[in-house]
Chains A and B, each alone.
Chain A
Amino acid sequence: METVPRPGRGPQSKKNKPQAKRKKPRRYWEEETAPTAAGASPGPPRKRKNLELGRHRQKNSHSSKKSWLSKKSQFPRKSQEQKQPGGEKKPGPQRSLSGFQDPFPGPAPVPEEVARKFCRIDRSKELPHSLPKTRSKLEVAERVEEEISAKAARSELLLAEEPGFLEGEDGEDTATIRQADIVEAVDIASAAKHFDLNLRQFGPYRLNYSRTGRHLAFGGRRGHVAALDWVTKKLMCEINVMEAVRDIRFLHSEALLAVAQNRWLRIYDNQGIELHCIRRCDRVTRLEFLPFHFLLATASETGFLTYLDVSVGKIVAALNARAGRLNVMAQNPYNAVIHLGHSNGTVSLWSPSVQEPLVKILCHRGGLQAVAVDSTGTYMATSGLDHQLKIFDLRGTFRPLSARTLPQGAGHLAFSQRGLLAAGMGDVVNIWVGRGKASLPPLEQPYLTHRLAGPVHSLQFCPFEDVLGVGHSGGITSMLVPGAAEPNFDGLESNPYRSRKQRQEWEVKALLEKVPAELICLNPRALAEVDVISLEQRKKERTERLGFDPEAKVPFQPKPKRKGRGSTASLVKRKKKVLDQEHRDKVRQSLEQQQQQQQQQAKPAGVRLSALDRFVR
């Protein structure tokens, strides 16, 4: 579900921290392009003139600035917006007190496509005939929806930030652009976001960003656990747990940290003090945190998927996946369903309230290596031991939309907020980009590639920052990936610049709005549906109890007629006429049904219709 943007609250906190203002990914491009774009008309992105030359020059002298970083100019959109009301200007003069005419009469027009995004009423189903009373209610509901969507669409205007991106000139492959080049081109604040932590001592690292994207926690295989505010590089804690660390994850806020250690799951606070040792979750390999449900999902070596409610400290469900060791896990941010990858090439989807997998998909011939789900819950990327990378459609069909064979299977996958896909293959990270937000990335040309010091062990895009965090055997690398993250954040929901007080308030609010764990199912909008089965059951029981159906149609009773025409015979005749008509209708319907059934039988069951089927007899 689209949530309404509330960017108005963001800037307030920004003002308090002028330095932190730099956060927007767009900002560095802006400052970059500002001098070069001076005087140039705002239009299509400028192209670099002499590609080869420029590249040579770069190598020779690092002073030259690059111009291939561009951003979508805001101007054309604004001018359109200005034109729109002008076009709709009515010729009729509207008199005001002073005789002054409003050049833009009436309320500002609402962009329809945007408004449609906020319309949630499903009009695909035909409604049965409704009584006038009901119809008035329906009309009210539709009117309200229209109003609300218009309001939401209007407020879209407040989303000032736009995502940046890389653009190659004259067929230049953006994948050839190295991190060093990007860092050189961007402003200093953004350049500071690219860094490497050389931690060769404590083995491959797992990392995790907090939900606001401000904090980073990482844990090395050999027991090194640290958390830091990665933007300011301020270390929060650093400890060695003296045990193998399998996975690490922030809980709802950056104050709590769950670490899957060799034996048990432990929870630390931001000063490195151990708060809990959860012995019911043992030999955990992977952790996932469901922020709206306050659930910590753990997948263990013993094959159990355990849900721990961190708000009350209770284990909600422990599900046996019956598929051996679990070491591939991902969550679907759209519906909070957990995806588990198994060694038999299947991916299973789990909800804590159902003991068996909701869906089981056969994806690969070999075992699964990595799974990732994009933020809209539309696509799932999987990679298997058969060296394939596939993208599946999660909207009911579960079919592979695209597939590629990689030279070495991708060991780790991650989707960014805007749908960029990163895959870690050995010591190389490839990033693919789709066109527009949440569109399927075509796996043909990588958008960016980067080689690391060691094999990749963990991948995550930082929320609200154009940064990809990579944990590898040589430490941690923070990569710059232009256009990866959502440029506008919701100041009340996940504010990177929030103070301690704000965080506490948010925590209380979030706890109050906690979604029960039972509500996790494939369709998150199921709550807006009526439980038809129990409705029918109730109806049936009621009729049984009463001995008759109170909602059944009343048998036709002819009106008594006057002037000597109301004889009993005519009454009976009229009654019979109506009965016969009904009977005829029934027979007709049943005949039609029979015909349909015959047709269905004639057609092979379960075959999708194609346009050529009409010629098949």
Chain B
Amino acid sequence: MQATKMNVTQAMQDLLPLNQQEELVDLPNNYPLSASEDERDSDGERKHQKLLEAIVSLDEKNRWKLAERTEACLKISELNVSAEGSGEKLVLSDLLKPGRTSSSLAAMKKQLNRVKFRKTLVLPFNKKEIEQIYREVAFNKASQTLSKWDPIVLKNRQAEQLLFPLEKEQSAFVHNELVFSGCKARTPLEQEVFNLLHKNKQPVTDPLLDPMEKASFKAMSLEEAKMHRAELQRARALQSYYEAKAQREKKIKSKKFHRFVKKKKANKTLKDFDQLCKVNPTVALDELEKTEKTRMMERMSLKHQNSGKWVRSKINMARYDLEARQAVQKQLAKNKELTEKLQVISESEDEERGAKEEDPLVLDLVNEIQMCADGPNPWMLRNCNSNTKKDEIQTFPVQVPEPVVQKFSKSEEDERSAAEEENFLEEFEERQSFGKRFQLNQETKPVGSQETKDSSSQDILYKLRALNQKFNKENHYSRKQTVSQAGTILQGQREESALEEEEFLLLQRPERIQILEELEDLGKEGYFQNKELPRPLLKWEQMKRNPNNQTDAPKEQKKEQMIDLQNFLTTKSPSVKSLAFPTAIEELEDEEERNLKQMIKEAFAGDDVIRDFLKEKKEAVEANKPNDVDLKLPGWGKWGGVGLKLNAKKGHRFLIKAPEGPPRKDKNLPNVIISEKRNICAAAHQVQVLPYPFTHYQQFERTIQTPIGSSWNTQRAFQKLTTPKIVTKPGHIIKPIKAEDVGCLSSSRLDLSVIQSITAQPTGNHKKQLKKTFVD
């Protein structure tokens, strides 16, 4: 009310000129008009006073302060009530309150209160939002319905061939019996056939299913099976719910809750018990006894140290009573005694002990090898190793302690195998040494210099260690029983042999590679005659001939791998011995042959084919290299002019080196120049875009590597490869797929009409419902 009044005054102020305003100032204040009773002069004074006040208040912000009532007056206007002075808030109900409380007004007050505390109604959604909500719901439902089609869609996408229009395949099969029942042999041919069938005891009617099987087939129809399945599913679901609930409850930490639950349970049992008493007193008695017994057992077990009633009371008493204290302690002691766990002595300790005994032996083995490995020659290393082992094996029966005797038969076997291994080892050593000599003999082969030896020995060491570890693991079991040194040695030996086998395999390869080179070498030295000799012999011979080559062998390491072009072309290959020689040179003697060769050599002395070729290759390589970018400009960073040389260092700085391309294909082939130029015309026929599901070109390449043409495939395969993806019947309408077509889905839920109904605008009733749900 005050506010409205203020508004009114302000409006009036705006309207009236200033001098009138001043008069108006007091007007609302409604000074008592009965001031006429006062003296006239005092009146003038008062007016002056007012004016002053008004002027002062002009520059203040809040010019229109409510006037204070400074003096008492009889008549108080109801419009002019203010609580300014009192500092309290004026409550509406206070105003309504009468001086005395009247009961008639209380109800009204209550009503007023209720009005005041009632919440305002939420605005209803506007049309847009409602539509959006509808759409969301509809979408969810539709997507759920449609997701049932997913497997079918996937199947159709992956299918090799689709046949349209869709036809439901007839699953019902006709029994032989039914077919045959109507069939009777009429024509003589048919009769003959039937006769034949009967003669050979061929079953005419269906013999495959006996009545039991038939019954079992009929036992459960599809609907029944479905129902049964649904039931089972429900039961399972219920069980899982229950389990989940129990788990959830178990996890709740609140003691109060658990107490509550316990109490509930107890109450329930009590109730049950009461009922049982009424129904079957004997059983109830038994039950009672049982519960009593369990209680007693619990007490006896002293599972509860100090949670029992008695103990608690004793604890309370223990402060003052010595006896009680003792009783409590006794109780605790007893509890401790009873709850102590029995210690079971494990048997595995023995095994461990055995294993520990093993380890030093293994270590010995390794150490031994290490010691040997320090020796200069890795090849000798193996020799001495195996030798030592042999010695040990020979002394083996002596070393065997008495307790192992019962295992002796087994160890004998081992010995035998060891002997075999020995043989093998010797053989192998021979081979190795042979290989070694063979290597040494090769002029161009890198033969172990000191460093290589070291590295190789280390390599071997490493391998041995790894092997030992492995075999430790493996043989832990067996060794537990026969703790003997000999066993370990044997094992070691076995490992060794395995290792050597590996090495041997590695060794064999280079040998094979070298044979060709060697042959060429042979040719160079003019070994035409021993062509018939077996290769190993040749090698031996060669070995005998040049044993001195060993010393300078290690120097040429890198050279040896590349085929020396010169070598490769100049080597003479063995000549062919043919029965028929061309007539032109049949009479040629050896000398003449030599002369001829000399002539040829002279003829080709001028044109050095090899040098030309190398030059050509170099040019090709240069031409194919990416060019460096030279950003040098004359005069940059230096004086320019004729005859001035640019600093190489500075020139280097301005050179941008081109990135090195991929290595040439003919990098390792000295006699070949392979063009690096891309065949653009052929590339135009290649696939340039990866089709959809492939992310890498290699994946796609795999799918197109099989040719589909009929010239590469059999007719059947060709037909299979070129079957059309979709086959349609001409003149037939292809209807959209229906649930019935698929068969596996129930039809009512899957119809597209359901989706349509969802997407359609809701009717009034539906709308109301929806609104309700969303507003609440």
Which residues of chain B are within 8 angstroms of A122 by Cβ–Cβ distance? Answer: 701-702, 705
Partner of A532, one of B563, B673, B697, B709: B697
Docked CA distance A410–B588 (Å): 17
Which residues of chain A are within 8 angstroms of B578 by Cβ–Cβ distance? Answer: 175, 407, 428, 430, 446, 449
Partner of B604, one of A357, A365, A407, A493: A365
- Among B158, B612, B695, B703, the most chain A Cβ lie within 10 Å of the Cβ of B703
Docked CA distance A407–B587 (Å): 12
Which residues of chain A are within 8 angstroms of B583 by Cβ–Cβ distance? Answer: 426-427, 451
Which residues of chain A are within 8 angstroms of B570 by Cβ–Cβ distance? Answer: 365
B242 to chain A, nearest CB (A): 25
Would B579 and A604 count as touching, CB distance under 8 A? no
Would B668 and A608 count as touching, CB distance under 8 A? yes
Docked CA distance A538–B203 (Å): 70
Question: Which chain B residues in 719-744 approach chain A with CB under 8 Å?
Answer: 720-721
Partner of B714, one of A133, A144, A151, A535: A151
Which residues of chain B are within 8 angstroms of A175 by Cβ–Cβ distance? Answer: 578-579
Interface presence of B434 (CB below 8 A): no
A40 to chain B, nearest CB (A): 31
Would A449 and B600 count as touching, CB distance under 8 A? no
Docked CA distance A604–B663 (Å): 14
B495 to chain A, nearest CB (A): 20
A60-68, A124-132, A199-207, A277-285 - interface stretch: A124-132
Would A353 and B682 count as touching, CB distance under 8 A? yes
Interface presence of B527 (CB below 8 A): no
Given contacts A148-B706, A428-B578, contact A358 B698 (CB under 8 A): no
Question: In chain B, what residue has the closest Cβ to A355?
Answer: B677
Which residues of chain B are within 8 angstroms of A120 by Cβ–Cβ distance? Answer: 705-707
Question: Which chain B residues in 568-582 approach chain A with CB under 8 Å?
Answer: 568-582
Q: How big is chain B's contact interface, by range?
A: 35 or more
Docked CA distance A358–B672 (Å): 10
Would A407 and B705 count as touching, CB distance under 8 A? no
Binding site for B on A (CB under 8 A): 1-4, 6, 95, 97-98, 120-122, 125, 127-128, 130-131, 133-134, 136-138, 140-142, 144-145, 147-148, 151-152, 155, 173, 175-176, 344-346, 351, 353-354, 356-366, 385-390, 397-400, 402-408, 425-428, 430, 443-446, 449-451, 493, 513, 516, 518-521, 525-535, 538, 551, 604-608, 610-612, 614-617
Would B456 and A614 count as touching, CB distance under 8 A? yes
Docked CA distance A602–B669 (Å): 21
Partner of A405, one of B565, B573, B671, B672: B573
Question: Which chain B residues in 671-729 approach chain A with CB under 8 Å?
Answer: 671-675, 677-690, 693-707, 709, 711-714, 716-717, 720-721
Docked CA distance A425–B453 (Å): 52
Which residues of chain B are within 8 angstroms of A125 by Cβ–Cβ distance? Answer: 698
Would B569 and A176 count as touching, CB distance under 8 A? no
Question: Which chain B residues in 598-627 approach chain A with CB under 8 Å?
Answer: 600, 604, 607, 609-610, 612-613, 616
Which residues of chain B are within 8 angstroms of A605 by Cβ–Cβ distance? Answer: 667
Docked CA distance A430–B573 (Å): 17
A175 to chain B, nearest CB (A): 5
Partner of B510, one of A359, A399, A427, A610: A610
The digit string for B429-459, where 1 denotes a CB below 8 A from any CB of A, is 0000000000100000110100111111001
Interface presence of B557 (CB below 8 A): yes
Would A615 and B668 count as touching, CB distance under 8 A? no
Docked CA distance A513–B711 (Å): 10
Would A130 and B699 count as touching, CB distance under 8 A? yes
Docked CA distance A357–B679 (Å): 11
Interface presence of B506 (CB below 8 A): yes
Would B696 and A612 count as touching, CB distance under 8 A? no
Would B613 and A611 count as touching, CB distance under 8 A? no
Would B693 and A133 count as touching, CB distance under 8 A? yes
Given contacts A127-B699, A615-B455, contact A361 B609 (CB under 8 A): no
Would B671 and A364 count as touching, CB distance under 8 A? no
Would A531 and B613 count as touching, CB distance under 8 A? no
Known: A128-B698, A404-B573, A530-B701. 19 other contacts (CB 8 A): A4-B711, A97-B203, A98-B201, A141-B703, A145-B705, A362-B569, A362-B672, A388-B573, A425-B582, A427-B582, A427-B584, A446-B578, A451-B583, A526-B686, A530-B686, A530-B687, A607-B561, A616-B455, A617-B454
Would B669 and A398 count as touching, CB distance under 8 A? yes
Q: List 24 A-B contacts (CB under 8 A).
A: A3-B711, A4-B713, A98-B203, A140-B703, A148-B717, A152-B717, A175-B578, A353-B680, A366-B600, A366-B604, A386-B600, A387-B600, A397-B669, A406-B575, A407-B578, A426-B582, A444-B531, A449-B579, A451-B580, A528-B701, A607-B561, A611-B506, A615-B452, A615-B455
Interface presence of B212 (CB below 8 A): no
Docked CA distance A518–B686 (Å): 11
Which residues of chain B are within 8 angstroms of A611 by Cβ–Cβ distance? Answer: 506-507, 509-510
Docked CA distance A512–B235 (Å): 69
Would B713 and A148 count as touching, CB distance under 8 A? yes
Given contacts A98-B202, A400-B568, A430-B578, contact A530 B700 (CB under 8 A): yes
Question: In chain A, what residue has the closest Cβ to B610?
Answer: A362
B205 to chain A, nearest CB (A): 11
Which residues of chain B are within 8 angstroms of A446 by Cβ–Cβ distance? Answer: 576, 578-579
Which residues of chain B are within 8 angstroms of A136 by Cβ–Cβ distance? Answer: 158
Interface presence of B207 (CB below 8 A): yes
A535 to chain B, nearest CB (A): 6
Given contacts A151-B714, A366-B604, A607-B562, contact A353 B667 (CB under 8 A): no
B197 to chain A, nearest CB (A): 9
B199 to chain A, nearest CB (A): 12
Question: In chain B, what residue has the closest Cβ to A134?
Answer: B693
Given contacts A364-B569, A426-B583, A615-B452, contact A354 B705 (CB under 8 A): no
Would B699 and A138 count as touching, CB distance under 8 A? yes
Which 7 residue pairs are nearest across A and B when measured between Cβ atoms?
A426-B582, A518-B681, A403-B573, A615-B456, A353-B681, A531-B686, A530-B697
Would A155 and B714 count as touching, CB distance under 8 A? yes
Interface presence of B118 (CB below 8 A): no
Given contacts A426-B583, A530-B697, A534-B683, contact A344 B569 (CB under 8 A): no
Docked CA distance A119–B571 (Å): 40
Interface presence of B111 (CB below 8 A): no
Which residues of chain B are within 8 angstroms of A155 by Cβ–Cβ distance? Answer: 714
Would A616 and B604 count as touching, CB distance under 8 A? no
Would A533 and B678 count as touching, CB distance under 8 A? yes
Question: In chain B, what residue has the closest Cβ to A396?
Answer: B665
Given contacts A134-B694, A616-B452, contact A443 B576 (CB under 8 A): yes
Question: In chain B, what residue has the closest Cβ to A551?
Answer: B695
Docked CA distance A399–B717 (Å): 39
Docked CA distance A604–B684 (Å): 38
Which residues of chain B are within 8 angstroms of A2 by Cβ–Cβ distance? Answer: 712
Given contacts A148-B717, A407-B582, contact A531 B573 (CB under 8 A): no
Docked CA distance A400–B674 (Å): 16
Interface presence of B214 (CB below 8 A): no
Partner of A519, one of B202, B207, B682, B720: B682
Docked CA distance A531–B453 (Å): 48
Which residues of chain B are within 8 angstroms of A534 by Cβ–Cβ distance? Answer: 683, 688
Docked CA distance A128–B697 (Å): 10
A513 to chain B, nearest CB (A): 8
A54 to chain B, nearest CB (A): 18
Which residues of chain A are within 8 angstroms of B202 by Cβ–Cβ distance? Answer: 97-98
Docked CA distance A125–B683 (Å): 21
Would B682 and A526 count as touching, CB distance under 8 A? yes
